[in-house]
Amino acid sequence: MSVREGTFFAPPKRSFPVTLGEVTFFVQSWQVTGQRLFTEQAAADGSCVITNTAQKGRKIILEGIWVTSSQPDSLILLLDSFINSCSAFEFTLRQMHFQECRLMKYTAEEKGDEPYIKLHLELLAVSPPKEADVS
């Protein structure tokens, strides 16, 4: 899609806004991964014994777009500061409320003829999601 001066751009209808700190972007796809880890050791009889287990943090992948009239350097500098300072976020993704989320990785992509920046964010959620309060 090319944009001419004065053209209005609206995010796709199926996207929804998510705010992390001062950054609001429109999520077009997402993925949440949960995992439990097990530690195994061999017993004297050669069998396998589970000696420890722990729930690992949830990995959240958000893909979407950032639409703004400002320059992309403000977005990149802000995302870098989130990673460097290990900032904690909470946000609602559909009806799931995540707390204690930290940005682990980001990818921002700009194409010259598009009025937005594509974002790929990877976050780590320490605690499990809760049902969002819809009042």
Walk me through the domains of the chain, giving residue ranges and CATH numbers: 16-131 (2.40.30.200)
CA-to-CA distance for 82 and 121, rounded, in angstroms?
Answer: 12
Count of CA atoms in the C-beta half-sphere (13 A) of 38: 5
Q: What tokens does 51 get? A: 């000696």
Under the banding of pLDDT at 50, 70 and 90, the label for residue 8 is: low
Under the banding of pLDDT at 50, 70 and 90, the label for residue 3 is: very low
CA-to-CA distance for 87 and 125, rounded, in angstroms?
Answer: 12
CA-to-CA distance for 74 and 56, rounded, in angstroms?
Answer: 33
In this prediction, residue 6 carries a pLDDT of 47
In this prediction, residue 11 carries a pLDDT of 55
CA-to-CA distance for 122 and 60, rounded, in angstroms?
Answer: 6
Q: What angle do CA 105, 97, 68 make, to 5 degrees?
A: 55
User: 8-17, 41-50, 54-63: lowest mean pLDDT where?
Assistant: 8-17
Q: CA nearest 21: which of 63, 73, 79, 70?
A: 79
pTM, full prediction: 0.76
Q: What digits encode the pLDDT tens for the residues 49-85?
A: 988 988 888 999 999 998 876 778 888 999 999 999 9
Q: Kindly state the helix (H) or strand (E) to which residue 72 belongs, with its residue range.
A: helix 72-85
pLDDT of 2 higher than 50: no
121 burial via Cβ count (<10 Å: 0-12, 13-18, 19+)? buried
In this prediction, residue 64 carries a pLDDT of 93
In this prediction, residue 73 carries a pLDDT of 84
CA-to-CA distance for 122 and 98, rounded, in angstroms?
Answer: 14
